[in-house]
């Protein structure tokens, strides 16, 4: 059982964060409404929406994954909650298959534990909408919509010609036959090795997702003949259509009905009754339910906020901390959507020295990044693990540097569809010699020693300089192998055989001894509580939290990063409701973030080479 994130000052903090008093608790026969268009992030829900229901307008940032899991667990035992409604609408929060599967399991668990129904209404669904909605008792499409079942893809963008055209030179070092993260900078096409591992991975993830769909939908069918027909129709639709019209999806049993919104509302009035004010069914949004139950409220005692009052310490003793490492691993403090090595190392250090914290769960959703920053975090995690229970929960992706920081854990949990491994390193060194020539700038230098200019951008590295950087890359790879070998009880040769930059799904990772157990964040928390002898209802708090994310580390870090929400608002203003523009902006932003994340002081990185797109 999960302990709710509450303290003696939670109501005050909730009012401060939300700008309003706590919402009215749900009446009897109320549906809990979850807006899938918000998406879900590993980090806690920040800035909850103030609207009373999904049909009264207004959206905010993504829901926190753990907050949502706790809300479903609480709602299962809440006599006033009659069921759950999922509202689809391009489930675009960046979730991968692993977190989607974890939510799917929580919805299935809600139905099983409570006997209450789950409904899903998908006006214009994405594939992830549909995948998650198969946990529902009934799935309803809008009659004018189509069901997307067109598969997964992994696309590579290659900048070799662009960089040459603008005069930017790139030199690289790398270790690992499959460490292809540098290919976009030095090639104009996908290598055979990268194509092989991408193909293996997306085929495995696609198989896991359609297996979940078949299992869920087959439960509604009475005969083996109907179940066989379902699989045949689905396979045919994937290979010949990609998008299935709503009525055809009903006929083929992919969904249960095609309903206009007014028809959906009338059906749900039979379940939840009528709200006389809105003339809709009785409902409470997930945001309001989180606040009513005091689930998403952060205790205000995170780092840098001064010494907490005695009653606050008492309310959080003993407790468990969930640390969210979500985003690129970068040197320094990092922005809100990055894992800054200096910031997270400090956070783990303070947790280690806080006697009220008995266990720490590190939730990793990161493709990796700076090797130096990864080692900063790993070292502090190692010291923390020597003093108290330290457990890792891998989310959608925990690869390369994301795997590096997991190595000190007592136990590592991952989903079968988690992307992990990619144990390998590479170096990237840019130079602007040709760019300078194009704009009429020349440069020269005098040196006091042969390698005094090894960090320059004005020219390419000499063979001797590249040999030194390659030697450093080899050393860091050897250290990486040793960390993994010591943590997993394997020899360095055994680790090297499954390393070489190879990317694995969770199933393969477990077979290769890279993880311990299948399970999500809740499983990791439950294990950590038992290992630390904590009560089931022991308080949980999150790091980074809503209050502390912009806390300065030292005076020289005086500029707070731009909040992700502001960037999303700017994107919305630019792109409106045009999906193609949103996709283009997202790809440009992702590329810019990746280039900005190349800030390792030694120019060496541990990062996965690609991403999977639903």
Region 155-173: mean pLDDT is 78
**pLDDT of amino acid 414:** 95
Region 219-241: mean pLDDT is 88
Q: What is the dihedral of CA 133, 135, 138, 144, to 10 degrees?
A: 10
Lowest mean pLDDT among 197-201, 206-210, 349-353, 609-613: 609-613
Q: For residue 191, what are its two tokens?
A: 């290598």
**Nearest residue to 136 (alpha-carbon basis) of 233, 38, 27, 219:** 219
* Cα-Cα end-to-end distance for the chain: 32
Region 102-120: mean pLDDT is 94
Residue given tokens 């939908």 in the structure block:
217
Region 366-392: mean pLDDT is 93
**pLDDT of amino acid 510:** 94
Say if residue 297's pLDDT is above 60: no
**pLDDT of amino acid 307:** 37
**pLDDT of amino acid 575:** 53
- Neighbour-count burial of 55, counting CB atoms closer than 10 A to its CB (0-12 exposed, 13-18 middle, 19+ buried): middle
- Could you tell me the CATH number of the domain that includes residue 16? 3.90.226
Say if residue 4's pLDDT is above 60: no
Instruction: Determine, yes or no, domain membership for 70.
Output: yes
Instruction: Determine, yes or no, domain membership for 278.
Output: yes
CB 114 within 8 A of CB 108: no
Residue 324 pairs with which residues in a beta bridge?
363
CB 426 within 8 A of CB 179: yes
**pLDDT of amino acid 120:** 94
**Nearest residue to 549 (alpha-carbon basis) of 533, 539, 562, 540:** 562
Domain count, the chain: 1
**pLDDT of amino acid 531:** 96
- Segment 424-474, tens digit of pLDDT: 887 778 888 888 788 787 777 776 667 777 778 888 888 888 888 888 888
Instruction: Determine, yes or no, domain membership for 108.
Output: yes
**pLDDT of amino acid 46:** 56
- Segment 28-87, tens digit of pLDDT: 899 999 988 888 888 776 544 333 333 333 335 788 888 899 999 999 999 999 999 999
Instruction: Determine, yes or no, domain membership for 486.
Output: no
pTM for the full predicted model: 0.76
CB 291 within 8 A of CB 47: no
Q: For residue 583, what are its two tokens?
A: 């996709």
Higher-confidence residue: 559 or 579? 579
Say if residue 184's pLDDT is above 70: yes
Instruction: Determine, yes or no, domain membership for 577.
Output: no
The helix (run of H) or strand (run of E) holding residue 66 is helix 65-76
pLDDT winner (highest mean) among 209-223, 300-314, 446-460:
209-223
**pLDDT of amino acid 69:** 92
Residues annotated as catalytic are: 179, 400
Instruction: Determine, yes or no, domain membership for 312.
Output: yes
**pLDDT of amino acid 358:** 94
Instruction: Determine, yes or no, domain membership for 30.
Output: yes
Percentage of the residues of the chain whose pLDDT score is greater than 90: 34
**pLDDT of amino acid 139:** 95
Region 88-94: mean pLDDT is 61
CB 498 within 8 A of CB 421: yes
Instruction: Determine, yes or no, domain membership for 28.
Output: yes
Domain coverage including residue 38: 1-142+259-316
Say if residue 583's pLDDT is above 90: no
**pLDDT of amino acid 68:** 92
Region 181-198: mean pLDDT is 81
Please tell me the number of Cα atoms within 13 Å of 109 on its side-chain side. Answer: 17
At residue 603 the predicted structure's pLDDT band, cuts being 50, 70 and 90, is low
**pLDDT of amino acid 488:** 94
CB 153 within 8 A of CB 202: yes
Residue 558 pairs with which residues in a beta bridge?
none
CB 37 within 8 A of CB 89: yes
**pLDDT of amino acid 50:** 35
Give the count of beta carbons closer than 10 Å to the beta carbon of residue 426: 27
**pLDDT of amino acid 584:** 53
- Neighbour-count burial of 284, counting CB atoms closer than 10 A to its CB (0-12 exposed, 13-18 middle, 19+ buried): buried
- Segment 360-378, tens digit of pLDDT: 999 999 998 888 899 999 9
Percentage of the residues of the chain whose pLDDT score is greater than 70: 76
Please tell me the number of Cα atoms within 13 Å of 209 on its side-chain side. Answer: 28
**pLDDT of amino acid 251:** 94
The region that residue 276 occupies, defined by phi over 0 for left and psi between -120 and 50 for alpha, beta otherwise, is alpha
**pLDDT of amino acid 548:** 37
**pLDDT of amino acid 392:** 97
Based on its alpha-carbon atoms, the radius of gyration of the chain, rounded to whole angstroms, reads: 25
Say if residue 190's pLDDT is above 70: yes
Mean pLDDT value across the chain: 79
- Segment 394-423, tens digit of pLDDT: 999 999 999 999 999 999 999 999 999 988
CB 566 within 8 A of CB 334: no
**pLDDT of amino acid 7:** 28
If DSSP states are collapsed to H, E and C, what string results for 415-477?
CCCCEEECCCEEEEEEECHHHHHHCCCCCCCCCCCCCCCCCCCCCCCCHHHHHHHHHHHHHHH
**Nearest residue to 492 (alpha-carbon basis) of 481, 500, 503, 502:** 481
Say if residue 595's pLDDT is above 70: no
- Segment 504-546, tens digit of pLDDT: 999 999 999 999 999 999 999 999 999 999 998 888 888 875 4
- Dist. CA 437–CA 387, nearest whole Å: 56
- Dist. CA 207–CA 51, nearest whole Å: 39
At residue 557 the predicted structure's pLDDT band, cuts being 50, 70 and 90, is very low
- Dist. CA 393–CA 525, nearest whole Å: 9
Interstrand relation of 138-141 and 118-122 (parallel, antiparallel or unpaired): parallel
């Amino acid at each position: 059982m999960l302990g709710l994130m509450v303290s003696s000052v939670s109501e005050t903090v909730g009012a401060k964060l939300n700008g309003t008093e706590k919402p009215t608790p749900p009446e009897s026969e109320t549906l809990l409404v979850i807006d899938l268009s918000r998406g879900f992030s590993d980090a806690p829900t920040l800035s909850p929406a103030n609207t009373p229901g999904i049909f009264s307008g207004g959206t905010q940032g993504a829901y926190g994954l753990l907050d949502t899991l706790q809300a479903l667990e609480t709602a299962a035992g809440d006599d006033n909650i009659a069921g759950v409604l999922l509202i689809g609408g391009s489930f675009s929060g960046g979730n991968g298959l692993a977190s989607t599967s974890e939510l799917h399991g929580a919805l299935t668990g809600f139905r099983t534990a409570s006997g209450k129904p789950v409904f899903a209404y998908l006006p214009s669904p994405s594939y992830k909408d549909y995948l998650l909605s198969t946990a529902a008792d009934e799935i309803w499409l809008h009659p004018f919509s189509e069901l997307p079942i067109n598969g997964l893809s992994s696309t590579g963008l290659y900048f070799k010609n662009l960089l040459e055209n603008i005069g930017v030179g790139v030199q690289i070092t790398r270790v690992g036959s499959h460490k292809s993260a540098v290919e976009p900078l030095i090639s104009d096409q996908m290598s055979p090795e990268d194509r092989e591992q991408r193909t293996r991975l997306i085929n495995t993830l696609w198989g896991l997702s359609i297996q979940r769909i078949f299992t869920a939908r087959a439960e509604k069918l009475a005969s083996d003949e109907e179940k066989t027909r379902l699989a045949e129709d689905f396979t045919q639709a994937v290979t010949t259509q990609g998008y299935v019209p709503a009525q055809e999806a009903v006929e083929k049993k992919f969904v249960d009905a095609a309903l206009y919104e007014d028809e959906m509302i009338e059906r749900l009035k039979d379940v939840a009754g009528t709200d006389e004010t809105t003339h809709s069914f009785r409902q409470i949004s997930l945001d309001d339910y989180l606040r009513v139950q005091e689930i998403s409220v952060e205790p205000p005692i995170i780092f840098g906020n001064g010494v907490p009052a005695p009653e606050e310490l008492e309310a959080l003793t003993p407790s468990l901390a969930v640390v969210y490492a979500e985003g690129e691993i970068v040197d320094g403090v990092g922005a809100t959507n990055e894992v800054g090595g200096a910031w997270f190392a400090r956070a783990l250090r303070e947790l280690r020295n806080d006697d009220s914290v008995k266990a720490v769960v590190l939730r990793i959703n990161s493709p990796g990044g700076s090797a130096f920053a990864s080692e900063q975090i790993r070292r502090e995690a190692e010291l923390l693990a020597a003093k108290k229970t330290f457990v890792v929960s891998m989310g959608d992706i925990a690869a390369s540097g994301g795997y590096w920081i997991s190595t000190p854990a007592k136990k590592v949990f991952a989903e079968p569809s988690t992307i992990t491994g990619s144990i390998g390193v590479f170096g990237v060194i840019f130079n602007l010699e040709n760019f300078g020539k194009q704009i009429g700038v020349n440069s020269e230098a005098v040196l006091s020693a042969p390698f005094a200019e090894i960090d320059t951008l004005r020219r390419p590295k000499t063979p001797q300089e590249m040999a030194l950087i390659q030697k450093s890359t080899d050393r860091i790879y050897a250290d990486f192998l040793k960390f993994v070998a010591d943590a997993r009880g394997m020899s360095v040769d055994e680790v090297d055989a499954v390393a070489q930059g190879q990317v694995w799904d969770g199933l393969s990772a477990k077979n290769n001894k890279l993880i311990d157990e299948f399970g999500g964040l809740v499983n990791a928390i439950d294990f950590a509580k038992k290992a630390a002898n904590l009560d089931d209802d022991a308080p949980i708090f999150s790091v980074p939290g809503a209050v502390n994310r912009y806390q300065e580390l030292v005076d020289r870090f005086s500029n707070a990063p731009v909040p992700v929400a502001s960037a999303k608002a700017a994107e919305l203003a630019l792109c409106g409701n045009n999906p193609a523009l949103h996709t283009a902006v997202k790809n440009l932003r992702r590329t810019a973030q990746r280039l900005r994340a190349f800030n390792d002081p030694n120019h060496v990185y541990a990062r996965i080479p690609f991403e999977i797109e639903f």
